Chains A and B, each alone.
Chain A
Amino acid sequence: MAGQSGTGTSATRRLGILVILMLAALALCGLWFSAEDVVQGSTVRIMYIHVPSIWTAYIAFGLTGLCSAVYLSGKNRSLAWDRVAGASGEIGVLFVAVSLVTGSMWGRLTWGTYWVWDARLTSTAFLFITYVGYLAVRQLGGTHRQRARRSSVLALLAILEIPLVHFSVTLWRSLHQEASVANPNAKVELDGLMLFSLFLGLIAFTLLFVWLVLHRQRSMMLEDAFSDRGLDLAITARRNEAGA
């Protein structure tokens, strides 16, 4: 038994330290140093976690879709792709949930209500439910390959929701504001430190996502190995019984 080091390596430990430092800097910039917005006042400080959260969820679900496509199209169909897809989907669900909660708190301050059945909010909630379903499908019985095949197909269907969520504010009349930075007119509406804090949040959350995926897919690899080992033991025991 190898035993001691868990799912970490020196690289993931260094990455983890970098992420903690960046998140600390984000908290200082976002909650303290950056200016208040001329329209929204101090409530803009929620943006520095709300936007990176949904960004991370988009990246996570995008990676889930990409790995699923590679798995289905590959010749050897390595289960490693499926495990990265699963780990990424799980982390995406976490971040889209965070995005829904922080967005709802921001909405209470700016719109006067926690929730409205608006195009952006409703489509985001639907995205969340879809990927909870994806995680549930991964838990269904069968072999690892059966799990990989059915969850990959579902991931390729679910990924189609992301453009719908992102462009819902322009496709339909929405209470939710349009993009402040990546808007179609390419007109940046944030001042220097606000913009810096937002990008710091995007980079910090992206690196946090990478760190989480590395650890989670390794623990999934061990879960699969143990499951195989259990199956091997059961088959050996059954053969021994039959031979006795």
Chain B
Amino acid sequence: MKHASFIFGSWGITAVSVTVYAVWVLRRGRELAKHATREEMPWT
């Protein structure tokens, strides 16, 4: 594939950025939930 470094690079940057953010969101939620009461988490 021509220009493979740019193509895979752009897909890689997207995948890494979104994955890092998603993992941060999940870990943040999990960390906060450890100290929350049931009333503070109406989705449970």
Minimal Cβ-Cβ distance residue in B for A7: B29
B18 touches A94 (CB 8 A): yes
B6 touches A108 (CB 8 A): yes
B32 touches A219 (CB 8 A): yes
Q: What sequence of 0s and 1s flags, for each residue 79-95 of chain A, a beta carbon within 8 Å of any chain B beta carbon?
A: 00000000000010010
B17 touches A98 (CB 8 A): yes
Find the residue from B10, B34, B37 having the highest chain A CB count within 10 A.
B10
CB-CB contacts below 8 Å: B1-44 with A:
1-4, 6-11, 13-14, 17-18, 21-22, 25-26, 28-30, 32-38, 40-41, 43-44
User: Size band of the A side of the interface?
Assistant: 35 or more
A109 touches B6 (CB 8 A): yes
A2 touches B3 (CB 8 A): no
B11 touches A218 (CB 8 A): no
Q: Can you offer 5 A-B residue contacts whose CB atoms are under 8 A? A: A2-B40, A7-B26, A31-B11, A218-B29, A219-B25
* Supplied contacts A2-B41, A98-B17, 16 more A-B pairs, CB within 8 Å: A1-B35, A2-B40, A6-B30, A6-B33, A30-B11, A45-B7, A46-B6, A46-B7, A49-B11, A98-B14, A105-B10, A106-B10, A108-B6, A212-B21, A219-B29, A222-B33
